Amino acid sequence: MDKKAHFFYAVKIPSDTKILVYNKLLPLQKEFPFQKWVHPEDFHITLAFLGNAEIGMLEKSIQFVSDALKNENAFPLNIEGLDTFGRKESPRIFWVRLVEQFCLYEVRKKVFDACELAGFSLEKRPFHPHITIARKWKGNTPFAPELLQLKNPFVRDAFSFVANEVVLYQTHLDREPKYEVVQSFKL
């Protein structure tokens, strides 16, 4: 593990779900001109972003997260729509929205608390569970937020998947896909 690399904990999206989401979003790439669309293998739900991590702290976090999740069970998640972060007319993040699920918030809290216990200073913004699908609006006209509902491929064809694994990812900015699983925790 490179101690200068960035690390984060996330719910791993099952491979079949990644393919389904990607296929539903593929037609939108022409209608929503974002600079960079996320490789489907990199779809995930971030629970705690660690940033650069010293090996000792990272190893502590792995032990604490393992202990915190040892009695957690897999749970269903439902995809419901599309949304953005950033300015309405020029969003920086385009994402898939999930139906709120208490179990996800509980798992996130356990992972977050375990990372803080290991010594990480984590961002305290409210948790908005999502799957990032694209970054940086590059359209010739301002983004039209009303299209999020009009073009939502999940309205008529919503689906669920089972969250059964939390992973520690390492980021490799020079690769695609860019996230590598360092440690896995089965639910």
The closest of 148, 158, 136 to 20, measured between CA atoms, is: 158
Q: Which residue in 6, 39, 130, 172 is the catalytic one? A: 130
**Distance between the two ends of the chain, CA-based, in angstroms?**
24
Q: Is 6 a catalytic residue?
A: no
SS3 of 43, please?
A: coil
Q: Is 130 a catalytic residue?
A: yes
Examine residue 76 and say whether the peptide bond preceding it is cis (omega within 30 degrees of 0).
no
Query: Residue 79 is encoded by which pair of tokens?
Result: 């995809």
Q: Which residue in 6, 39, 44, 172 is the catalytic one? A: 44
Q: Which H or E run contains 20?
A: helix 15-25
Residue 100 has a CB neighbour count (10 Å cut-off) of 12
Q: Which residues are catalytic?
A: 44, 130
